[in-house]
């Protein structure tokens, strides 16, 4: 592949990730192309239709999260450090905002995508489980709580703020959220209402709704 082609591929993927995170899976492809600084034809040449593009985006994202989770687990000093490091990295990757957006539109059944999704979820769940086991994560906080709160924090705010402001706020809010995850936080607060979803609950629910 020629160098400029590779560069454009990357740019398209990034632009699509950001725009899908912000505006949902229905963003006009013209706009993705413009935002990526390439012509529409370039986009359509590489990804024949919207589904192909979305699949590529979500696969890319899932691989990055898996990597980040495994690296955090391997390199951090303790389970709490590992978990928080992963969450910070995942926020930068904007990964969490994209996946659920696409989940309702593309069918990741059976193939490479399904596997990538499981890998990613398992890698993250390992972080959560170890933090639980080490007693540095409030007991009643589940995998799904952390995952979906990350989704909420990663999703760009609506309204007329600059991208930088939005992102800076997201980082701040992640730090704020981390305070809620400590065992002390759990002790201070009242009981959490249902549903306390596990990874499998979440998976099953999304399947049913399809």
Partner DNA sequence: ACCAACCGGATGATTTCTCTCCGCTTAGCG
Partner DNA sequence: CGCTAAGCGGAGAGAAATCATCCGGTTGGT
The site for a copy of itself (CB under 8 A) is made up of 23-24, 100-101, 103-104, 138, 141, 144-145, 148-149, 151-153, 155, 157-162, 165, 168-169, 171-173, 175-180, 182, 184-186, 188-197, 205-206, 209-210
Which of 64, 59, 77, 69 has its CA nearest to residue 146? 69
Dist. CA 35–CA 15, nearest whole Å: 6
In whole angstroms, how close is the CB of 26 to DNA at the nearest point?
7
**In this complex, which beta carbon is closest to DNA, that of residue 4 or of residue 75?**
4
Residues 43-82 that bind DNA (CB under 7 A): 44-46, 48-50
Dist. CA 44–CA 151, nearest whole Å: 29
Q: Segment contacting DNA (CB under 7 A): 1-9, 70-78, 80-88, 133-141? A: 1-9
Q: Segment contacting DNA (CB under 7 A): 2-10, 141-149, 180-188, 199-207? A: 2-10
Q: Please enumerate in sequence order all residues whose Cβ is within 8 A of that of 100, keeping only pairs 6 or more positions apart, or say none.
A: 151
The binder of 59, among a copy of itself, DNA, none, by C-beta within 5 to 8 A per type, is none
Here the tokens at position 175 are 């730090």
**In this complex, which beta carbon is closest to DNA, that of residue 9 or of residue 70?**
9
In whole angstroms, how close is the CB of 53 to a copy of itself at the nearest point?
17
**In this complex, which beta carbon is closest to DNA, that of residue 6 or of residue 134?**
6
Q: Are 131 and 188 in contact (CB under 8 A)?
A: no
Per CB under 7 A, does 184 bind DNA? no
| Cα-Cα-Cα-Cα dihedral sign, residues 54, 58, 61, 63 | negative
Instruction: With H, G, I as helix, E, B as strand and everything else as coil, classify residue 14.
Output: helix
Residues 8-47 that bind DNA (CB under 7 A): 8, 26, 28-31, 37-42, 44-46
Q: State in Å, rounded, how far the first CA of the chain is from the last one.
A: 37
The binder of 182, among a copy of itself, DNA, none, by C-beta within 5 to 8 A per type, is a copy of itself
**In this complex, which beta carbon is closest to DNA, that of residue 53 or of residue 72?**
53
The binder of 135, among DNA, a copy of itself, none, by C-beta within 5 to 8 A per type, is none
Q: What is the DSSP string of 44-109?
A: HHHSSSHHHHHHHHHHHHHHHHHHHHHHHHHHSSSHHHHHHHHHHHHHHHTHHHHHHHHHTTS---
């Amino acid at each position: 592949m020629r160098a400029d082609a590779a560069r454009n591929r990357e740019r398209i993927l990034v632009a699509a990730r950001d725009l899908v995170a912000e505006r949902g899976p229905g963003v006009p492809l013209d706009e993705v192309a413009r935002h990526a600084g390439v012509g529409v034809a370039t986009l359509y040449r590489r990804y024949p239709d919207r589904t192909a593009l979305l699949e590529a985006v979500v696969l890319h994202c899932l691989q990055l999260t898996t990597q980040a989770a495994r690296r955090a687990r391997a390199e951090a000093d303790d389970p709490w450090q590992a978990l928080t490091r992963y969450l910070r990295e995942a926020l930068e990757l904007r990964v969490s905002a994209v996946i659920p957006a696409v989940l309702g539109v593309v069918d990741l059944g059976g193939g490479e995508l399904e596997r990538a999704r499981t890998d990613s979820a398992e890698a993250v769940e390992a972080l959560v489980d170890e933090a639980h086991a080490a007693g540095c994560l409030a007991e009643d906080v589940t995998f799904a709580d952390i995952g979906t709160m990350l989704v909420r924090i990663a999703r760009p705010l609506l309204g007329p703020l600059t991208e930088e402001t939005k992102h800076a706020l997201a980082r701040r809010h992640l730090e704020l959220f981390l305070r809620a995850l400590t065992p002390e936080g759990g002790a201070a607060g009242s009981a959490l209402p249902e549903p306390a979803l596990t990874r499998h609950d979440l998976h099953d629910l999304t399947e049913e709704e399809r």
